[in-house]
Structure 1
Amino acid sequence: MKLYYSPGACSLSPHIALSEAGLPYELVKVDLRAKKLENGDDFWKVNPKGQVPALALDNGELVTEGPVIVQMIADKVPAKNLAPTRDSAERYKLLEWLTYINGELHKNIGPLFNPMLADEAKAIFKDRAMGKFKYVDSQLAGRDYLMGKQFTVADGYLYVMLRWADGMKFDLSGLNNLLAYKDRIAARPKVQEALVKEGLMKAA
């Protein structure tokens, strides 16, 4: 498999999933502004959406959209328990979390990276995202991870959103469950492995 990524972008979520899954993969860095690969190839020809993540499968198919990609990765290695079994009540809870992170956090924090966005608009998006983080904090009470004791692909995705929040200087003080959770995820060896590969932290 081949993961098209940009360092620290939402493609970090499937990168973490691949690392946790222990599956073999190749990383292909994308310049999202120029829509070019490192070798100069046109990224539009790889993914007509022009976005990361994109996962090229060994059979030549391309899968896009992070929440779909991470489930596919999890289903390839069921023994790792990165996602509950299909059609189970727990699987639908995982889908609920992936949808919430995608629609409520990702879509509110993402616009903050746009330098053309007016400060008033940024304040609105930031305030919305803070409200969503407060909800997540309440749901993490007494839990190690979103689904309870087991790390899943939803945790990798939420962790990326928390990294974005750090970069955007969100004040998460007081959200103690969330802050402890972020530290817990950051301490995972496979998460650190993905961060090192993307140049986001130095190897220990």
Structure 2
Amino acid sequence: MKLYFAPGACSLSPHIVAREAGIDLQFTKVDTQTKAMEGGGDFWKVNPKGYVPALEFEPGDVLTEGPAIVQYLGDQRPASGLVAPAGSRERYQQQEMLGYINSELHKTYSPLFSPATPDATREERKAYLQKRYKLIEERLAGRAYLFGDTFTAADAYLFTVTRWAKFVQLDLSGFPNVLAFQERVAARPAVREALKAEGLLV
């Protein structure tokens, strides 16, 4: 399998999950602006949506959308505990959290990366993120990870999008549990391997 990624983008989440699960993937870097791929080729032909991540099983057989990819990867190594068993209540709670991170955090960050976003919109989006992180802060109280002591695919996704805060000047100092979570996840060996492989760890 091949994972198409851009360093530090949301594709870092399935990259982390694959390393946590011990799944050996091939990696192809994508320029998110030009859609050119490392080694040549047009990413539009791989994923008509035009964005990462994309998990290719073979040419023409591709799975997209990060929350779907991390669940697929976790299911390949059920003993890893990265996703709960299909049909269990815990599985749907994890899907609920993946959905929350996707719609309330990830998509709210997106306009903050565009220089064309008006200042008023930028401040409104930051205020919205502050409100949404409040729920995460409360959930992490007394917990190592979102679902207790077990690292899951949802933690990989939360860690990935929360890394963006410093790049968009989002102040998270009022969320000590979130900041401690970020440090805890960043120290995991598999996470450090993923960060290093993407050139994000010096």
Report the TM-score range of the alignment, normalised by the length of the smaller protein. over 0.9
| Contact kept in structure 1, 2:28 and 2:37, CA below 8 Å | yes
Question: CA separation in 2, counterparts of 1:47 and 1:174?
Answer: 38
Q: Deviations over 1:105-128 (max 9, x none)?
A: 001011111111111111111111
- Report the alpha carbon displacement of residue 25 of structure 1 after superposing the two structures with TM: 0.5
1:54 and 2:54 matched:
yes
Task: Give the corresponding residue for 1:87.
Answer: 87
Task: Indicate conservation of the 8 Å contact 2:108/2:129, yes or no.
Answer: yes
What is the SS of the residue equivalent to 2:30? strand
Give the letter aligned to residue 170 of structure 1.
L
Listed one character per residue, the Cα deviations across residues 146-168 of structure 1 (whole Å, up to 9, x for unaligned) are: 11110000000000111001221
- Aligned-residue offset at 1:59: 8.0
Contact 2:46 2:60 in 1 (8 A): no
Displacement of 1:58 in angstroms is: 4.7
- Could you say what secondary structure the match of 1:150 adopts? coil
Distance 1:96 1:188 in 2: 24
Task: Give 1:195's aligned residue.
Answer: 195
Match of 1:66 in 2: 66
- Identity of counterpart residues, as a percentage? 51
Q: Distance in 1 between matches of 2:93 and 2:30?
A: 32
How far residue 39 of structure 1 moved from its aligned partner, in angstroms, is 2.3
Backbone CA RMSD of aligned residues:
1.1
Report how many aligned residue pairs link the two structures.
202
Give the gaps of 5 or more residues in structure 1.
none
Query: Using the alignment, how far apart are the partners of 2:59 and 2:155 within structure 1?
Result: 28
Corresponding residue number in structure 2 for 1:181: 181
Per the alignment, in what secondary structure is the counterpart of residue 31 of structure 1?
A: coil
Q: For residue 169 of structure 1, what is the aligned residue in structure 2?
A: 169
After the TM superposition, list the runs of 4 or more consecutive aligned residues in structure 1 that deviate by more than 6 angstroms: none
Question: What does 1:1-204 correspond to in 2, within 5 Å?
Answer: 1-58=1-58, 61-202=61-202
TM-score, length-scaled by structure 1: 0.96
One-letter code aligned to 1:135: L
Structure 2: gaps (5+ residues): none
Larger deviation, residues 165-174 vs 9-18: 165-174
* Higher mean C-alpha displacement, 69-78 vs 59-68: 59-68
- Aligned equivalents of 1:168, 1:32: Cα separation in 2: 18
CA distance in 1, matches of 2:46, 2:84: 31
Which SS does the other structure have where 1:142 is aligned?
A: coil
- Give the C-alpha shift of residue 174 in structure 1: 2.5
Superposition TM-score, scaled by structure 2 size = 0.97
